A and B are shown apart, each in its own frame.
Chain A
Amino acid sequence: MTGTRILFALCLAVIVGGLGYFLVIGATYR
């Protein structure tokens, strides 16, 4: 189940990281 746990964490990281990236873009008026 280690691989599954890593995928779980990776999935959340991609989503939250992606949203953080887009928020910075929007907030800095790019």
Chain B
Amino acid sequence: MSDPDDRRRSRGLWRDNGLTLGFGCGFLLVLAGQALAGHAAFNEQLTVDGLQRIGLGAYLTSSDFAVDVTENWQSEFLQFTLYILGTVWLVQRGSPESKEVHKIGKETDREQRVGAHARKDSPRWAGTRDWRQKLYSRSLGLVMGLLFLLSWFAQSVCGTAAHNEQRLRQLQEPVGWGSYLASADFWNRTLQNWQSELLAVAAMVILSVYLRQRGSPESKPVGAPHASTGVEG
């Protein structure tokens, strides 16, 4: 029989990290699905163009697959970057996604528990008074922002290769990275993702003023009044 303490610890690990593990596994499954569907669609296009079909391995190492993945990644990281930074200065009265209306801005050191107001259990860099506190105070937005820029750059590089592959198929001159950045293809891929992210955030913020999801921290408690802001369920 296994040690009951071990069993408790093991169950705790899965339960304590269920949100990350659930969404992480979902990501891998859906990425695999995208790879299969993308491979089939790519081969259909090759057949239409009278070219030879390619294997799954070749598709997974192709710039066509890469640009399709990275264009979606960049928009998701942009969404969270804007959300993290935007919610410092913008509020929505009545939304649990917003902080309370009177808290607009970076808030006081006391409210943020930094410097002299750090507690025993605060992260170490929160208790410092130099560049480490400044850096740590911005670390979430900075990392999300960096991941957005890196993904967008990867989209532009992979998009250049994929776009040129198509141009060469049609016996057209390939374009350089700089020219691709000014191309309709790059901005069409970019903006079609951005618009959906911005719509989803705006909808989430305003819908959560009047609608509820019992038990979700993204919602206010079911019985909370419509006017209460920054309350988690």
Contact = CB atoms under 8 A, between A and B. Distances in A.
B67 A26 contact: yes
Contacts of A19: 70, 73, 147, 150-151, 154
B16 A22 contact: no
B161 interface: yes
Interface in A1-30: 3-4, 7, 11-12, 15-16, 18-19, 21-23, 25-27, 29-30
Nearest to A25: B66
A23 B62 contact: no
A7 B21 CA distance: 8
Interface residues of B, number: 28
B158 interface: yes
Contacts of A25: 61-63, 65-66, 158, 161
B20 A11 contact: yes
Chain A at the B interface: SS class: helix
B13 interface: yes
B84 to A, nearest CB: 16
B121 to A, nearest CB: 12
A29 B154 CA distance: 12
B20 A22 contact: no
Contacts of B20: 7, 11
Contacts of B159: 26
B81 interface: no
Contacts of A7: 17, 20-21, 24
B162 to A, nearest CB: 8
A7 B14 CA distance: 11
B69 interface: yes
A16 B150 CA distance: 9
Nearest to B66: A22
Interface string B114-144: 0000000000000000000000000000010
14 contacts: A7-B20, A15-B147, A16-B150, A18-B69, A19-B151, A22-B158, A23-B153, A23-B154, A23-B158, A25-B61, A26-B159, A26-B160, A29-B165, A30-B63
Interface of A: 3-4, 7, 11-12, 15-16, 18-19, 21-23, 25-27, 29-30
